[in-house]
């Protein structure tokens, strides 16, 4: 019998290197379920190993951060990503980017799995 979807998600997310991010849709596609990006979000919200499974490295397809990041809010997610060297861009370059006006620069930091 195969792995559960959540287990597949956790295994994939563990492989995202520091300094890189992946999108929810990218993780869903790598897990063989390309139309299930929301399910990736649900799986990461239930992360059984915070700090081991780096769910902070998963962002929306436009580079924006999760508004309700499960482990401390979007400011915590941003701080974790910045500590790893992830680059951000200004909202003026990409449209509406949220309260702080920043998004991850996917052209520089998206994981090429």
Give catalytic residue positions: 55
**What gap in Å lies between CA 38 and CA 28, rounded to an integer?**
9
| Secondary structure string (H, E, C) spanning 13-49 | HHCCCCCCEEEHHHHHHHCCCCCCHHHHHHHHHCCCC
């Amino acid at each position: 019998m195969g792995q559960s979807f959540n287990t597949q998600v956790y295994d994939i997310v563990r492989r995202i290197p520091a300094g890189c991010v992946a999108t929810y849709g990218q993780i869903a596609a790598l897990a063989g379920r390309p139309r299930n990006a929301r399910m990736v979000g649900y799986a990461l919200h239930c992360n059984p190993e915070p700090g081991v499974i780096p769910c902070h490295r998963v962002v929306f397809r436009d580079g924006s951060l999760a508004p309700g990041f499960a482990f401390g809010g979007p400011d915590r997610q941003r701080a974790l990503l910045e500590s790893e060297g992830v680059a951000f861009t200004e909202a003026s370059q990409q449209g509406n980017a949220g309260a702080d006006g920043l998004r991850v620069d996917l052209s520089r930091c998206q994981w090429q799995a």
